[in-house]
Structures are given as structure tokens and as C-alpha cells.
Amino acid sequence: MTRQGGGSGEYVLSTLEAMVAWGRKYSIYPFTFATACCGIEVMGAFGTHYDLARFGAEVVRFSPRQADMLLVAGTINYRMAPVLKRIHEQMLEPKWVVAMGACAASGGFYNNYSVLQGIDKIMPVDVYIPGCPPNPEGIIDAVVAIQKIIETGAPRAAERWPIKI
């Protein structure tokens, strides 16, 4: 978008795509899927001290059908995996996924028979947040990263998924 003119005759030149992206960027509706201690940090991020509302992502939706961003915060085991997958499928396009913390990103230190070794085994992940648990700044950083993806039109993880190794 470029600003033109001056005084009372100011106007903006843009494309429709850029306008829509600008609107999306500042109105990300998150859906938090908190299963472990990461969920506490999510509460901190949405609370008054860190205040995720400053980035336009404060309207937490408790229905996946109304959400844009799935924030997976915590350990996902094999019994929970189908539930999480179903929730991801219920979200409308365009949608973004954040894997928060070591467990959601890689299984963390739960290298055992019951824990899914990273949610990217079952769904595309756009942003990973490292940490165990990450601090609220990490969540803000992930939201800003997703804003960058929206703004620049960078390909979403869904377009390069499943990952081929």
C-alpha cells in the first residue's frame, strides 16, 4: 500500500488482496488447544500484562469454526491426536497453526509409546515456538510471524504438507 497526496486530499493506492490481507492481519481469531503447562503461558499472553490484544489477536474463539489460528499448547498423545485433527479440519480456510512448546513441536522429552512426536505428523504447522514452556513473548512473536505470512502472501504450511524427508 502506498500513501499519496497530502493535507485533506490524502488517499491510498492498493490492491484488493493487500487490503484483505491488512484486515486479516489485525484480526486473527485464535483457538487455543491447551493440554499442558503451555496453556498457563497462553493465559499470561492474553492477560493484561502482555496483552495480545495489542496485536489484534485477542478475540479467543471457543468454536474452531470461527477461528483463524489454532494455537496448540501442550503435549498431544495418540488418544488426543484424532480430536485435534478433527478440530483442525473444522476450521475454515484460511487457517494457520502454531505449535507451541517442545511437546507440540516434537514430543518434547516424552519420547515414549503414548505421545505424538510433534503435531506436524498430523497437520501442517506454520510457526513453531521453542521452549518448555515458552514465555508469553514467544506467543507474541508467533502472532507477529503469522502477521508477516499474511501480509507478504508467503505460502502457508498447508501448501507444503505433508513434509517429505
Partner 1 sequence: MTDERKSVALAKLAAAFGDDVVSTHGDFGDDTALVRRERIVEICTFLRDDPDLRFDLAMDLTGVDYLGETPRFEVVYHLYSLEKRHRVRIKVRLPEEDLSIDSVVPVWAGMNWYEREAFDMYGIVFRGHPDLRRILMYDEFEGHPLRKDYPKAKRQPTIGPAE
Distances (CA, A) of 50 to 41, 73, 76, 148: 10, 17, 26, 20
Segment 88 to 107, residues that bind partner 1, using CB under 8 A: 89
Site string for partner 1, 122-161 (x = CB under 8 A): x---------------------------------------
Question: Minimum CB separation from partner 1 for residue 107, in Å?
Answer: 10
Segment 1 to 40, residues that bind partner 1, using CB under 8 A: none
Q: If you ran DSSP here, which 8-state letter would residue 68 be given?
A: S
Residue 121: exposure state from Cβ atoms within 10 A (0-12, 13-18, ≥19):
middle
Question: Minimum CB separation from partner 1 for residue 113, in Å?
Answer: 4
C-alpha grid cell for residue 2? Answer: 502506498
Our finding on whether 165 is near partner 1 (CB under 8 A) is: no
| Rounded Cα gap, residues 38 and 132, in angstroms | 8
Q: Which of 81, 145, 157, 158 binds partner 1 (CB under 8 A)?
A: 81
Q: How far is CA 43 from the centre of its chain?
A: 15
- Residues forming contacts to partner 1 in the complex (CB under 8 A) are 78-79, 81-83, 85-86, 89, 111-114, 116-117, 121-122
